[in-house]
Structure 1
């Protein structure tokens, strides 16, 4: 499954970069995230509770941020297991671009699912993933905007 999109964020590229690399911000913004913490090897361990169609599960996984290009972007590689619900792998490229009045965040991602998740069907999983992304960006924009407003004179 492939996902591609862009999101406008009303903040400078440097501020967006800072918040994209802040574990507490990401934990607050990821829907259903119960735990998000840096591991000893530099990756991030996460626990996310999600419902995918009739399947509700607690997914435990990890994410690694690679090819970091300060204020520009990075690559994310992650995986998670939801027990009987199945297993998922994700790779995503994130790129930031200056636009008038803020920053455009562009992403392309590929996901692979196995187990019951794979049996649900790509159309349903795709619509749920799109909602997850929309919820993430709504919260992220809110967090960044609030911090930018507080920093303004």
Structure 2
């Protein structure tokens, strides 16, 4: 299955969007159903139960409250691996996907990742990509993903899966937009100028 689209955020810079999309804590906060998103050394040796127990609900400060240099330092880099626990309702099924993701390429203003996940009776493999283009009114985020879905969820077909995928993507970018609007609204110390010069 293939999914793609463009999401536009007004009155922001490409650097602000990139810094936010590079922050694992911002992604966790913005992604519906994401219980945790944690960097791991080996994607083939992940103890999800231990990660769940170690996870706390207290995330570090995000933009605009966080220091942009701190956010940049903890951001995604090519070759890193992450583990995530995702809970997404698909029709009458409410699976908790144990997911591993590899950052295949991450270089402003474009990036890509691949991953896989499994839950009871279902699994998926995916490749995703994203690029950012700035224009006079703001930023366009072009995104796309190719996914192979197996098991119980795959049997539901694209008519069920597509609306769920669109709902998750729209809520994710909507949450990101809300946070980026806060960055624009809270610029008393030149935060936006600092971010613009980072990449």
Q: Does 1:16 align with 2:17?
A: yes
Summarize the alignment of residues 63-142 of structure 1 with structure 2, pairs less than 5 Å apart.
63-70=101-108, 72-84=109-121, 86-142=122-178
TM-score, normalised to structure 1's length?
0.93
Match of 2:196 in 1: none
Structure with bigger gyration radius: 2
RMSD of aligned alpha carbons: 1.3
TM-score, with structure 2 as normaliser: 0.72
Can you give the 5+ residue segments of structure 2 that lack an aligned partner in the other structure?
Answer: 43-79, 190-199
> Residue 53 of structure 1 corresponds to which residue in structure 2?
91
More strand by share: 1
Q: How far does the alpha carbon of each residue in 1:57-104 deviate from its partner, in whole angstroms, 9 at most, with x for none?
A: 11111111222222x1111111111122x0011111101101112111
Following the alignment from structure 2 to structure 1, what is the Cα–Cα distance between the partners of residues 177 and 113? Answer: 20
- 2:89 aligned counterpart, secondary structure: strand
Corresponding pairs, count: 151
Runs of 4+ in 1 over 3 A off after TM superposition: none
In structure 1, distance between residues paired with 2:17 and 2:104 = 17
From the superposition, tell whether residues 152 and 111 of structure 1 become closer, same or farther in structure 2 (CA, over 3 Å): farther
